[in-house]
Each structure stands twice: as structure tokens, then as C-alpha cells.
A and B are shown apart, each in its own frame.
Chain A
């Protein structure tokens, strides 16, 4: 484990300990039962070999204890001491030899040598002490990790282990039951060893199938980790994306090193967790998968924009085993989006400039008291002015949405009284409401002050209110209610208008979406108003919801926290 991976591991350890004794006991039991003899998940590590050899060491210790009891008759001390020495030498070899540099068949020497140890033990006791059961261990080892030929050889040789006392002491003194065992053992060994071997081969085939699938995904980085953040899978796509070979990552590193630390810190603050691997697994702990944009950092320092899905994965007992992170490079796409945003910003700027002249000169004309403006001319110029302003609003909305998309929406936070803003918005909307024969009503609590951006919140109320008026036919009412709670201030805008079909309500906040009730009545608009409302509400960490029945009016409810975090 590298130094990097230690910190997140340490951070999550207390949490694991807090899970309680039951889980720990189960894990220990699992490890004792199958852990050490289970087929390897990856290429054999030195640690794996040591773990695999410990049953031999344990058997050695038990054997040593057996000799202390007087019931174990030692007929010959020389092979006994040879066996003891060989066992110690074997264990030392397992621990100290640089196995990863030796060919893989060299590992098979260990179980074969252990067969020799068992033979010596049997010889030293005349085959009476029951050491024969030990031959199961090397056979099982080779069934799990060896080749088919090594297994066959082990079964044949283990049969000779039974023969040793017969050959050395001679048949007459050999217990009669031993001969039966001699005949039955190869069959038993072939069945147990063979079944195990076939299971292992099938398991390896499955593993290599899954690995093949992972490698085939060369366009996506697929990285799996354990619950502490240690990488367990680093596929071909990830190798290509980052320039790190899998063997440098698997079991050695955490995905933290692949991320922009500032982004991780920012996300940690959002989630309220420590800025470590917890950032990626926090949602997974709750059983949620999430997809967000992140910045990945390549080995050469290059930066990539990725759309990253992080999902939890579980073992058969339903316990969280870690997360899978699947990333797609969207660097080019986001660059294209940036170009688009810049284009929209430029266009909006270029569109605003001529409108400035139109609106400015109109004002001069209206103000010019000495001018010969007739009533009719004035009315026509009003139309020009109204349309110029409408176009200006569209351009501003477009610019605003492109800014939100580019993440450039900045709030200027100060104390804002939402009721005051609502009052101002209603005043400004009064002429339009009168023209449409709609009555505007305001109802407000006393304590409606919150921390927010007054311009943006004003824009928000304007948009909701304008919509309400626009979609309310003559003789209608629009109610605006501003209420303050302990932590939130709410504004509710209800109208008696045409309503929104239930099926369309989900799409309301999608940009350029227009309800069928709007299009069928030819109510003007381009479908940005509510997109902007949602963006402003989100920026204030508030919520917006809508209830509506077609023909029965619509209510928008917006809750804003008193303080934006």
C-alpha cells in the first residue's frame, strides 16, 4: 500500500470499527474458512503465497504438540527431526524467497516438499499417528493454484506417502486398515482435487471474461475501489486516459491522485465530509449512484474534463464492497460548449448595443416637450418602445442562461426583504395586469428578510409574476404571498389562469420548453423564464415547485433559505 492510500484508509477505519463486533466476527470467520485458500483475484502476490502457506505452518505446530503426548509413539527419531527441519526451511523459503522473480511452477515446489515432510512424519511413527490426513493439504493447494499435471502428480505422490511405512517397515507390521486406505485414497483425492480444480478453472474463466469486458471498454475509464479507496480494478480505458499502467494502480493507489485537489475540496465542503476518498463514496454509502463532471489529471499533468458516474457495488451479503467509477472524456464537448457560450455572449452584446440607441432615442423623443409629437405618434412610438424592450429582455435572458451554463452566475449577497421585492414587482407589473384585466394581490408576513442577491431575486419574482399574468385570462386574480419561517422565506404565486397539463409540468424548467397551453393560445415567449427562475433558486440553494390543474390555475412555490451557504 502506498503512502497515498494510507490516509483515506485511516480515515475510514474508525467507521469500519464502529460497525460493531458482529460484522468483524463474520469477516474473521470468512477469512479463516475460505480466505486463504480461495482462488487469487489477480496475479499471485508474495503476500498471497505467505497466506497460502500458513495452514502448513499451523499443521506443523499441531504436529509438534502431538509429539509431546505419550500416545504418539516415535519409532525413529531421524526422520522426525528431518521433517521438522524441512518444515522450518519451507516456511522460511516461502517468506524470504523472491517468488515474483521465479517462474510460476517454482511455487509448486512448496506443496510437493510438504508431501515429503508428511512421508517422513509417517515413517517416524510407523504410520500409526494419523498424519495421513495431512496429504489433503498439498493436494488441495495444487487443485487450487497448480496445473492439471501438477495435481495428478500430487495425487500419485500422496499415494506413495501412504506406502512409505509399508515399504520401510514391511507389510507384516503395517496396520491392516492402512492397506484399505491405500486403495481408497487415490479415488478420494481424484474426486476432491478434480472437483476443486474444475471449479477453479471455471472461476478463472469467468474472471478473465469479466476482465476481457473491462478491457474492451477502451473509451471509458472503469476504476473500482474497495470501501477504503484502494483501487481494485483499473481497466484498459483508464490506462489510456491517464497514462498509468494498471499494475501501478491496483492495490497501490486511490483515485484521489487522479483528481484535481481543489475540486475534491470544494465537493467535500458541499457534502460536509473530509476532503478525501469519502467525497466519492459518501453518496454510495446511501445506496445512490451519481453522475457529475470532474476534472481528471493525467500522469503527464494534462487535464481532462470527464463525465463521471460513481456507483456502489455490494457482495452477496449486501455489504458495500466499494465503488465503481466510470468516466467518459468530454473535454472536447465542453470546449465546444465554451465556444457556444462565448458566441452567445458576443451576440447578446452586439444585439444590446443597437437596442440601446433605439430605447435611448425614444426616451429623448418622449421627453422633448417642445417637439411636435401628436397623440397618435406618441402611441406608435410606445409600440416601438415596448417591442424594443421586449427584444432586450429576450437578449438578456439568453445571455443570462448562457452565463448560468458556463457556471458564471455570481450572486451579490446582501440582506433582502422578499416582501419589498414582491411589492416592487407588483407595482411594475400593474400596467400589464390592468391591460389584461387581471387583479394583483399581495399578502406578506413581517419577517421576510433573507440573505440573497436583490437583483436576481427581483428578476425571479418578475418572471413568475409575468408568467402568472400572461397565462391568466381577463377577470382573473394573481395572488402573491410572502411568508417567513424559522429558516426559510417562501413566496407563493397563484393564478386563476389556464393551468399546465400534468404531463408537461416536469419539463417546465427545461430551457425553451413551452407548455401546450401557451402555444395553443399563441401566448408569446421563448421558454426561458422558468429556466431562469430555477437557476436563481438553485443559486440561492432554494427549491421551487409547481401545482397546477389545466383550466384551474397554477401555483408556484419557492422556498429560499434565510442564509445562502
Chain B
């Protein structure tokens, strides 16, 4: 069992991801904006973070950068979630320090599999 941070401003998607993670037996910390994501990451020290790219406040990229800057959160692997399918976006995301980039619409089943394979390699 692991703790997963889910930062997503769309409530339906947030609930969907949380539901699948719960179902797989993980603890979920859900937040709806970038600033809360950074705060929750410092407080809860999650094992993995799933972060939406376009959120109010801080964007997913900025959250990524903010996490990298703090020693306490620098090691948290981040999966970026985006509705934008621009070819350059995934590169920007990976450059910001994300380990994975998932384009919406995504398969919730696959997302959970990615989280678990990340947990295994740690």
C-alpha cells in the first residue's frame, strides 16, 4: 500500500482516479489546484504524484519544478496528466522533471498500472 497524491482541477476526473487507486488498495490524497498540491506533497510525503498540467494557480509543470526544488519532495515521481496533445508538451513535462506523461483521455486501468510499476522500481 502506498500514498498517491492526485492533483486535478476537474472533480470528475479526480474522483475517477481516486476511485481506481482506492480499488487497487492505495491511500489517496486529492487536491484541486497547484498550490495545494505542493503543500500536500510536503505534508504527506506521497510515494507518487499524479498532477494535471492545466490547473489554476500553479500549472502541472510549475508543481513539478517546485517539488524538485525542495529536498523533501525532490524524490517524488510525478506523472503528468494533460488534455493537450501537442508533441512538444510531453518533452516540456519530462524536462520539468516528470517521469511520465499521460494524455487525456486515458485509461484509468493503465494509469494505475503505471503507478504500480513506478512503486515497484523504487
Contacts and interface: CB of A to CB of B under 8 A. Distances in A.
Interface string A173-186: 00000000000000
A392 interface: yes
Interface string A227-255: 00000000000000000000000000000
A410 B105 contact: no
Contact of B106 (A356, A361, A367, A399): A356
Contacts of B105: 352, 355-356, 358-360, 392
A376 interface: no
Contacts of A359: 105
B30 to A, nearest CB: 15
B56 to A, nearest CB: 14
Contact of A364 (B85, B86, B88, B108): B108
Contacts of A299: none
A508 B108 CA distance: 38
Nearest to B20: A364
Contacts of B13: 353, 356-357, 360
Interface residues of A, number: 21
Contacts of B20: 364
A121 B37 CA distance: 105
A364 B21 CA distance: 12
Contacts, number: 48
Contacts of B86: 403, 408
B95 interface: no
B114 interface: no
A412 B85 CA distance: 13
A386 B39 CA distance: 40
A360 B87 contact: no
Interface in B11-59: 12-13, 16, 19-20, 54
A396 interface: yes
Interface in B79-122: 83-88, 104-109
Contacts of B84: 349
Contacts of B10: 353, 356-357
A185 B45 CA distance: 113
Contacts of B108: 360, 363-364
16 contacts: A352-B104, A356-B83, A356-B105, A356-B106, A357-B12, A360-B13, A360-B108, A361-B12, A364-B19, A364-B20, A364-B108, A367-B109, A396-B85, A399-B85, A408-B86, A410-B88
Interface of A: 349, 352-353, 355-361, 363-364, 367, 392, 396, 399, 403, 408, 410-412
Interface of B: 10, 12-13, 16, 19-20, 54, 83-88, 104-109
